[in-house]
A and B are shown apart, each in its own frame.
Chain A
Amino acid sequence: MAYAAEAHNIVKKYPSVIAVNDVSFNVDEGEIFGLLGPNGAGKTTLNRILTCLVKPTSGQASIRGIDVVKRPAQVRRNIGVVSQAMTSDLDLTAWENLDIYGKYFDIPRKQRHENMKYLLETVGLTARAKDLVATYSGGMRRRLEIARGLIHKPYILFLDEPTTGLDPQSRRVIWELLQKIRQETKLTIFITTHYMDEADVLCDRIAIVDYGKIVVLDSPSNLKRSIGGFDIIEMTLGNFSPEADAKLKAMPIVKNITEKDEAIRVYVEDAAKSMPVIIEELRKMNVSIDYLAIHEQSLEDVFIHYTGKTIRETEAQKVNFFSGAGAPKQMPGARV
């Protein structure tokens, strides 16, 4: 049986950059699959290849077994797309936006209107259906666009950074909406995001993408487990010498130590039990603790582990004042 979506050795080259570099993955039916990575990592390009908006330089991709390059018209009937940019028409009402979009898919009037009523209800816009979209907030527009992407009951819904630019409350509403749709319709969802929490909350499986390559692919829990599944004690220390660092690393309860900005992150199995022991050891070495926090491992830690940097660092590196955003021509040795 065919996967909901498949990508085999996809490469997309532009004159000055390799946006996608030999990427392969499968999306199972009914799952929420996420592409997580910084801006410029190649997520949107991959998304556009799968939605027939961009042709790959090489490789093969399909939706439900239908080749995206050879049979794009058929693929388009099977997919719903919510683009990164707000694409609803400001000069039309929500009703008109949905109605006209439904006509693009040749949906008969009666069925179209039934779908529209159901979707407007689902996304909570029934009361504002006759208002111009120009009067909507960003969150409302996004909900409308999700409804629009579902007007023809697609087999798989593609969302490209659906909550970028939205306030925290609107983001949460979108998450709940997607979870509700998934629960009610068993829809396959393909989502790209650079928000760790979004990927963590929504996705069944996540592919971390960096410099056009998939660095690692698994479920959020497996990804966290793959880097040890430890608690993290984050501290800012005074008088922290290399000797003190060595002594801490030598402690059996300490599994790993990394540095982040001015702080160190000590990975332990049980923070509640380990913390007093570590504090005592630091006190003995005359190391002062200026700041201390405990947290569980997140996808941010997974990202740091697999890419060697935070997502923000990655984005900052890619946005160069003179050359603009984009991945370097030569790919650094990413771990797959």
Chain B
Amino acid sequence: MRALAITERDLRRFSRNPIVIIASILMPLVYLIIMGNSFQGELKHLPVAVIDQDGGPYARRVIELLQAMRDGPQTITIEKMTDQKAAIDAVKNGFYKGALIIPPRFSEDVVKDVNPQIGLFLDNTDSISAAGVSNSVSRAMNYLKSEYVSVRSTLAKTQFRAVELYKKIDYDASLVPGIIVMAIFMGTTFTGAFSIVMDKFLGIHESYLSTPLTRMDIVIGTIISGVFITTIMSFLVMMGGMFITGIKLAGGLTSFILLVFTIVLTALGLLSMIFMVLGRADHPRIVGVTIGFLNVIFYFPSGAVYPIESLPGWLRAFAAVNPEAYAVHALKSLILKGTGFAAVRGDLLFLACFTALMLFLATLTFKRTM
């Protein structure tokens, strides 16, 4: 089969340039380590300035509660200041994430129960830190309330107990399916259509365009080599990711077979899509720009980093036709939950239809002449 000669050519080429493959395996793993550790940690040691203008017992109690926050969950660190303006300026200049002002007569207001208030100035340009400081202060205030409001006067709270269906999955472990999809996408950036573009750039393509190879031979042969390399890369990334995060495949043989099938199908679909987009490009720079663009479009609304449910409506609509979203869903189900065919049937059906359409369009749009 002539197409396989193209596949053989590409595989031989890559076997002599393993650096690209190694770099493409390392990149998703580095992403996993950096991303996994960047977002999963709790906020710690947020610096807060405290100005006690009251000096009364309840002001001291507030400070004690804040100190408890500092010593317990360590969300905040507190530093006492006396000058309100200097404290607010320090927040503006980034030395503190917030400034807590306990006004004069605060303790008296608490005793008289006339709406005691504490001022909190927040650097809301860093919304996550601001929310962290705000939560800590609110919790301290709640403790204060419960101390002088009778327990009996509060309504009985409904108790609930959460039952987790699966073993605890840390955030970094939840990224593993995403980085597999990333590895597949990385594979498509230097195999498949990229081989054709480089051939055009180097003028090599003229040699095989003057042979009996058909459009279909060239497209299929190039994509097969891409799928082969990308699949191996993806499995290496998966194993590396599982090793780093300490997770194991949740399912048995059926899950594993479905996992292989999902990866191959995703690789085939994405390679076909990239071929359709870049099959006519003739300069590697075009590939670089386009791939960077497509990566952002497809990766972030895929659920790989953050749940699709958190996306705005228009982006959720895009996610509904995003092949990476289906791949991430299927891989999460198979790797983290160890589910069977029923859980990924819809994903595989979508990916199969997407692949067939893209392969058809890639072959149709590829130009056989110069």
Q: Which of A86, A87, A100, A104 contacts B212 (CB 8 A)?
A: A104
Q: Does B158 contact A (CB under 8 A)?
A: no
A87-98 vs B, Cβ < 8 Å mask (1 yes, 0 no): 111011000100
- Do B207 and A88 touch across chains, with their CB atoms under 8 A apart? yes
Q: Does A55 contact B (CB under 8 A)?
A: yes
Contacts of B369 in A (CB 8 A): 52-55
Q: Does A73 contact B (CB under 8 A)?
A: yes
**A76–B204 Cα gap in the complex (Å)?**
17
| Minimal beta-carbon separation of B5 from chain A (angstroms) | 4
Q: Which residue of A lies closest to B212 (CB)?
A: A76
Q: Does B345 contact A (CB under 8 A)?
A: no
Decide yes or no: A91 and B12 within 8 Å by CB, A100-B5, A104-B5 being known contacts: yes
- Do A103 and B2 touch across chains, with their CB atoms under 8 A apart? yes
Q: Which of B2, B4, B8, B204 contacts A87 (CB 8 A)?
A: B204
Q: Does A217 contact B (CB under 8 A)?
A: no
Q: Does A105 contact B (CB under 8 A)?
A: yes
**A101–B12 Cα gap in the complex (Å)?**
14
**A79–B208 Cα gap in the complex (Å)?**
12
Q: Does B17 contact A (CB under 8 A)?
A: yes
Q: Which of A73, A79, A83, A132 contacts B206 (CB 8 A)?
A: A83
- Do A132 and B207 touch across chains, with their CB atoms under 8 A apart? no
Decide yes or no: A77 and B212 within 8 Å by CB, A53-B369, A103-B5 being known contacts: yes
| Minimal beta-carbon separation of A198 from chain B (angstroms) | 21
Q: Does A153 contact B (CB under 8 A)?
A: no
Interface core residue of B8, B203, B210 (most chain A CB under 10 Å) = B210
Q: Which residue of A lies closest to B208 (CB)?
A: A104
B252-288 vs A, Cβ < 8 Å mask (1 yes, 0 no): 0000000000000000000000000000000000000
Total A residues in contact with B, Cβ cutoff 8 Å: 29
Decide yes or no: A48 and B17 within 8 Å by CB, A76-B212, A148-B207 being known contacts: no
Decide yes or no: A53 and B9 within 8 Å by CB, A87-B203, A89-B204, A104-B2 being known contacts: no
**A82–B86 Cα gap in the complex (Å)?**
79
- Do A81 and B9 touch across chains, with their CB atoms under 8 A apart? no
| Minimal beta-carbon separation of B69 from chain A (angstroms) | 62
- Do B212 and A53 touch across chains, with their CB atoms under 8 A apart? no
- Do B207 and A92 touch across chains, with their CB atoms under 8 A apart? no
Decide yes or no: A76 and B9 within 8 Å by CB, A87-B203, A91-B16 being known contacts: no
- Do B212 and A105 touch across chains, with their CB atoms under 8 A apart? yes
Decide yes or no: A76 and B206 within 8 Å by CB, A52-B369, A89-B13, A92-B9 being known contacts: no
B174-214 vs A, Cβ < 8 Å mask (1 yes, 0 no): 00000000000000000000000000001111111111111
**A238–B296 Cα gap in the complex (Å)?**
75
**A80–B370 Cα gap in the complex (Å)?**
17
Contacts of A148 in B (CB 8 A): 207
**A248–B8 Cα gap in the complex (Å)?**
70
- Do A76 and B12 touch across chains, with their CB atoms under 8 A apart? no
Q: Does A184 contact B (CB under 8 A)?
A: no
Q: Does A314 contact B (CB under 8 A)?
A: no
Q: Which residue of B lies closest to A152 (CB)?
A: B211
Contacts of A115 in B (CB 8 A): none
A233-274 vs B, Cβ < 8 Å mask (1 yes, 0 no): 000000000000000000000000000000000000000000
**A48–B203 Cα gap in the complex (Å)?**
14
Contacts of B214 in A (CB 8 A): 73
Q: Does A167 contact B (CB under 8 A)?
A: no
- Do B17 and A105 touch across chains, with their CB atoms under 8 A apart? no
**A103–B13 Cα gap in the complex (Å)?**
17
- Do B207 and A76 touch across chains, with their CB atoms under 8 A apart? no
**A85–B210 Cα gap in the complex (Å)?**
14
Q: Which of B8, B17, B206 contacts A81 (CB 8 A)?
A: B206
- Do B207 and A105 touch across chains, with their CB atoms under 8 A apart? no
Q: Which residue of B lies closest to A96 (CB)?
A: B12
Q: Does A290 contact B (CB under 8 A)?
A: no
Contacts of B5 in A (CB 8 A): 100, 103-104
| Minimal beta-carbon separation of A222 from chain B (angstroms) | 32
Q: Does A106 contact B (CB under 8 A)?
A: yes
Decide yes or no: A104 and B204 within 8 Å by CB, A53-B369, A91-B13, A92-B12 being known contacts: no
Residues of A that sit less than 8 Å from B by CB: 48, 51-55, 73, 76-77, 79, 81, 83, 85-89, 91-92, 96, 100-101, 103-106, 132, 145, 148
Identify 7 new A-B residue pairs, CB closer than 8 A, beyond the known A89-B9, A92-B12, A101-B208: A76-B211, A85-B202, A92-B13, A100-B9, A100-B12, A101-B211, A132-B16
Closest 10 CB pairs of A and B: A85-B203, A103-B5, A87-B207, A81-B210, A104-B211, A83-B206, A91-B13, A53-B370, A91-B16, A100-B9
